C-alpha cells in the first residue's frame, strides 16, 4: 500500500482544517454558538462558557473532502462514509438544538438512539451485501469464532453505539479527544494497511489530518470546541474502521482510553444507584483527576501518553506488524 498517498491525505486534510477553523470560529462567535458549562464541574471550566462550539464541522468537512478525493470507491468506502457522516449528523443536530434553542439538552436519549440505530443498520445492510465476514478474531492469538449473521450484526450495532458514546464521553478537556483520537487513528491506519484495506487506511489518514488541524485551535486554552458534531463523527469513523478491517476486539486495546472513560461513567452510575456512593469525584474519569488537583494540561498529556502506550500494545498484538 502506498505510504505516500496516506501522508498526502494527512497533509491535505490538516491544511483544510487549519484554513477552515479560523474562518469558522468568528462566524460561530457572531451566531453566539457558545459552550454551556456544567455548574457541578470543575470551577476552572466556568471561564470556558461562551467559547465557540460545534467546531466539529471543520473536522467533518476536512475529512469528507479529503476522503472523497483520495479513497477508492467500494463497499468499505460507503460503510466508512455512512458511519462518519451519519453519526456526525446526529451530533450536529444535538449541538444545533442545544445552542439555537438555548437548551441544556439537545436531542433526547431516545432520539439519539434511534438515529444511531438507523445509521448502524445501514452499515450492516452494506456489509451484508458485500459478504462481510462474520468471524471475530481474538487479538494476539490465532483464534477466532464465527457467530454467524444472526449474532454478529446485532453485535456490530451495539459496538457502534458503545464506541460513539465512549468517544463522546472523552470530549471534555481542551485537546483531549483531538489528541487521543489522532493516536488511535494512526494505529488503525497501520492496521488497515496490514489488512490491505485502502479505504480504511485513507479514512484513518483523513481523520488524523482533520483532528490535528483542529487541535491547533482546540489545544489549551481552546479557541473552539468540537461539540457532539465532532465527537460522534470521530466515534463513527473509528468504529467503522475497526469493523471494516476485521479488528473489532482490537478496538478495546487501541481505543483503551475511550473504554476507560465509558467504564468510569458506568461504574459511577451503578455504584451511586446501588450503594448511594460515588467511586470517582466526578465522571468521566478525566474530571476526577482535575478535581484531585491535576492541571487540565497534565490530565490531557497523561491521557495522550496512555493512548500511545495502548496503541503500541494493540499494534504489537496485531499479527504482522
Q: Which residues are annotated as part of the binding site for Mg(2+)? A: 168, 228
Question: In the chain, which residue ranges form alpha helices assigned H by DSSP?
Answer: 3-30, 56-70, 75-100, 109-129, 149-170, 176-194, 198-218, 227-244, 251-254, 256-275, 285-291, 296-317
Name the DSSP class of 34. B
> Angle formed by the axes of helices 198-218 and 3-30, to 10°?
40
Whether 215 and 179 have beta carbons less than 8 Å apart is answered as: yes
Residues 6+ apart with CB under 8 A from 189: 6, 201, 204, 205, 208
- 3-class SS of residue 140: coil
Angle, vertex CA 152, rays to CA 120 and CA 231, nearest 5: 35
C-alpha cell at 118: 438507523
C-alpha cell at 284: 468521566
Residue 103: CB atoms within 10 A of its CB come to 10
- 3-class SS of residue 75: helix
If phi over 0 gives left and psi between -120 and 50 gives alpha, with beta otherwise, what is residue 212? alpha
Residue 137: CB atoms within 10 A of its CB come to 18
Specify binding-site residues.
Answer: 168, 228
Residue 312: CB atoms within 10 A of its CB come to 14
Burial 192-211 (b: 16+ CB within 10 A, else e): bbbbebbbbbbbbbbbbbbb
Amino acid at each position: 500500500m502506498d505510504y505516500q498517498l496516506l501522508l498526502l491525505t494527512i497533509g491535505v486534510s490538516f491544511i483544510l482544517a487549519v484554513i477552515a477553523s479560523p474562518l469558522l470560529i468568528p462566524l460561530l462567535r457572531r451566531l453566539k454558538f457558545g459552550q454551556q458549562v456544567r455548574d457541578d464541574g470543575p470551577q476552572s471550566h466556568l471561564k470556558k462558557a461562551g467559547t465557540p462550539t460545534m467546531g466539529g464541522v471543520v473536522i467533518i468537512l476536512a475529512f469528507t473532502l479529503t476522503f472523497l478525493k483520495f479513497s477508492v470507491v467500494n463497499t468499505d468506502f460507503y460503510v466508512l462514509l455512512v458511519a462518519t457522516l451519519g453519526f456526525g449528523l446526529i451530533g450536529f443536530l444535538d449541538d444545533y438544538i442545544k445552542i439555537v434553542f438555548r437548551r441544556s439538552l439537545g436531542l433526547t436519549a431516545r432520539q439519539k438512539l434511534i438515529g444511531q440505530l438507523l445509521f448502524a443498520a445501514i452499515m450492516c445492510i452494506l456489509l451484508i451485501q458485500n459478504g462481510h465476514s462474520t468471524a471475530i478474531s481474538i487479538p494476539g492469538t490465532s483464534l477466532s469464532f464465527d457467530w454467524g449473521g444472526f449474532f454478529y450484526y446485532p453485535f456490530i450495532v451495539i459496538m457502534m453505539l458503545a464506541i460513539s458514546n465512549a468517544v463522546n464521553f472523552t470530549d471534555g478537556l481542551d485537546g483531549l479527544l483531538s489528541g487521543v483520537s489522532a493516536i488511535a487513528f494512526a494505529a488503525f491506519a497501520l492496521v488497515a494497511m496490514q489488512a490491505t484495506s485502502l479505504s480504511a487506511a485513507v479514512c484513518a489518514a483523513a481523520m488524523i489530518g482533520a483532528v490535528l488541524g483542529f487541535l491547533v485551535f482546540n489545544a489549551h486554552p481552546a479557541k473552539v470546541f468540537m461539540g457532539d458534531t465532532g465527537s460522534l463523527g470521530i466515534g463513527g469513523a473509528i468504529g467503522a474502521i475497526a469493523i471494516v478491517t476485521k479488528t473489532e476486539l482490537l478496538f478495546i486495546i487501541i481505543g483503551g482510553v475511550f473504554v476507560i472513560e465509558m467504564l468510569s461513567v458506568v461504574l459511577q452510575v451503578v455504584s451511586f444507584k446501588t450503594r448511594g456512593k460515588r467511586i470517582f469525584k466526578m465522571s468521566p474519569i478525566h474530571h476526577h483527576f482535575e478535581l484531585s488537583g491535576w492541571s487540565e494540561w497534565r490530565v490531557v498529556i497523561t491521557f495522550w501518553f496512555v493512548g500511545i502506550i495502548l496503541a503500541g500494545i494493540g499494534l504489537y498484538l496485531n499479527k504482522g506488524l
